[in-house]
A and B are shown apart, each in its own frame.
Chain A
Amino acid sequence: MKLHNISFGNIKRRKGKMLFLVLGLVIGISTIVTLLSITQSMTQNIEQRLNQFGANIVMVPKSENLSLNYGGIDVGGVSYKVREFDQEKLSNIRTIKNSKNLSIIAPKVLGPVIVKDKNVLLMGVLFEEELALKTWWNRTGGVFPQKDDEVILGSQAATLFGFKIGDTIRLSGKPFKVATILKSTGASEDDAIIADLSAAQKILGKEGKLSMVEISAFCQGCPISEMTLQIAEKFPNAKVTAMKQAVMSKMQSIDMFKSFSLGVSIIVILIGSLLVLVTMMGAVNERTREIGIFRAIGFRRGHVMQIILLEALLLGIIGGILGFGIGNLIAYGIIPIVIKDGVFAGINTNLGIISILMAVALSLLASLYPAFKASNMDPSEALRAL
């Protein structure tokens, strides 16, 4: 016979009461787990969407002049000479410290070409990278270019020149087949002819040169600002910019939800603890006779405390495990409803350990006073109730 036999026995006997106590912990822990899981899924979902948005780092040559362009409208009327990077140095990007976070590197060469006596923007790209980055490019028909003598036309450019899919377009005298025409994107590519990078470099006379590089980085927890600095270090003549605005505004919303979740969690935990405290107090009062017997047959105060705190520990572990499981189940069920295209982020083992520890800590804290009260019970007073 050990003290823990008494604790186990009491839990088994007072199943209803103990269930009520565990319920308090389960409600508290499962609420926290659910809210944290939703927050985690929201973050993941937004990050995935941001990744799909395309580049979140843009590298352009440094310029001593300020841009006179806003929202696609050039107000300067002056064309500055565009400076370029050497293409051969592009591989240096992959040598930065956070290179594992780099997803797509899409280099471009830009320049004007004359088509049907009109100046038009020619954009040379690596189709594979560019199409992976610009997932929102939709074709009106045809296929995306498979060969380096095929081009994509922006919707405005196609309309202006009256080209159709399959037509041949001559750029600096060289024929290119219009493989597809893009649906309007509302961005610069609407006005452009998009060709293979090396072909465009030849047409523009910029062989081995790049005008800009768009980079997509997996930003699930990756430090975009730091990566920007790391790239800038490798390219001293480049201006490297993180497109943080979208990220910041989305993350602000998540932070607000996180704060809300924290507030709700604290309230629920307080209510749960109160429930544990009241139930434990009730259980201790019910056990006055029993505690009197324990004390009469030689149990020290510490032994009585041990019995009650051991019960609290066991119930805390049960409450923590159940709360974590139920919280995950609720999150699994609720995430697709509350987050559009939301997917349950998966079971977080660390959160599981924290949940159990938290439930145990709460259960022990809420049982401390009842245990203290029980251990200080005057045995003669308790036995008078016999």
Chain B
Amino acid sequence: MTQVNHLIEIQGLKKTYQSGDTKVDAIKEMNFHIDDEEFITIMGQSGSGKSTLLSIMGALNHPTEGKVLVDSLDLYSLSTEQRADFRSEYIGFIFQSFQLISYLTVLENIKLPMAVTGQKKRIKNQMALEVIERVGLGAKAHRLPDQLSGGEQERVAVARAIVNKPPVILADEPTGNLDSKTANDIMMLLQSLNKDGHTIIVVTHNQDMAAYATRTVKVQDGVCIVDN
């Protein structure tokens, strides 16, 4: 029997937050895997541990126990700086409420992850222009974020997440602040990125978003209750 290598493997994952004498188990026990080019939604109520799970998968949050393997690489055996490099190369983040840098233009926001890569300026510009056209904001490249609508800001956030061509895109409630039409547009954009080969992991509490995914993981009280 041959061993299958998954893109992401979550093994015996636990996360406990401690505040003074109070301990909160955000993730009690999780074990699952994600394959290359999957589009997964992680669903659950507020406080179910889904955002903590996302941050651990994104090499941002050290688990209390367990392992996260990405391409067989144990993320938390890496140093802090190696994890920063990993995020730069492997992960594209889409945060809640867009989280754009208000003093940078649309194009500069999109190019932000490239500020720490060693590519040449010409290549950076070419890549940024490609993604800005892809998200349909070419005409608004030099506007500031607060001159854009919510949907447009979300598109900038998506563009920023994909500009370095990371294999994995992690999105935390990407449609939380959008009307349903704009939310559907964004999910379709993520779907098209998935078809282009990106592995997409979306955390949401919106049941409708699950329709765009190839797989849904439901989380409740820090454990996976459904995986289909």
Chain A residues in the interface with B (C-beta under 8 A): 1-3, 5-6, 9-10, 12-13, 289-290, 293-303, 379-380, 383, 386
* A-chain residues with CB within 8 Å of residue B115 when the two chains form the complex: 1-3, 5-6, 299, 303
A9 touches B108 (CB 8 A): yes
4 nearest A-B residue pairs (beta carbon) = A298-B88, A13-B103, A1-B111, A380-B61
Chain B residues in the interface with A (C-beta under 8 A): 55, 58, 60-62, 80-81, 84-89, 91, 93, 95-97, 99, 101-104, 108, 111-116, 124, 128, 160, 164
* A-chain residues with CB within 8 Å of residue B81 when the two chains form the complex: 300-302
Listed by A's residue number, 19 A-B pairs whose Cβ atoms lie within 8 Å are: A1-B112, A1-B115, A5-B108, A6-B101, A6-B112, A293-B95, A295-B84, A297-B87, A297-B88, A297-B112, A298-B91, A299-B84, A299-B115, A299-B116, A300-B84, A301-B81, A303-B116, A380-B62, A386-B95
Closest CB in chain B relative to A257 CB, distance in Å? 46
* B-chain residues with CB within 8 Å of residue A294 when the two chains form the complex: 112
A10 touches B61 (CB 8 A): no
Chain A contact surface mostly: helix
A1 touches B108 (CB 8 A): yes
A300 touches B93 (CB 8 A): no
A297 touches B160 (CB 8 A): yes
B55 touches A10 (CB 8 A): no
A296 touches B60 (CB 8 A): yes
Contact of A296 among B85, B93, B104 (CB under 8 A): B93
* A-chain residues with CB within 8 Å of residue B88 when the two chains form the complex: 297-299
A298 touches B85 (CB 8 A): yes
Closest CB in chain B relative to A368 CB, distance in Å? 19
A297 touches B113 (CB 8 A): yes
Closest CB in chain A relative to B128 CB, distance in Å? 8
* B-chain residues with CB within 8 Å of residue A5 when the two chains form the complex: 104, 108, 115
A6 to chain B: closest residue by CB = B115
B111 to chain A: closest residue by CB = A1
B116 touches A289 (CB 8 A): no
* A-chain residues with CB within 8 Å of residue B55 when the two chains form the complex: 380, 383
Closest CB in chain B relative to A296 CB, distance in Å? 5
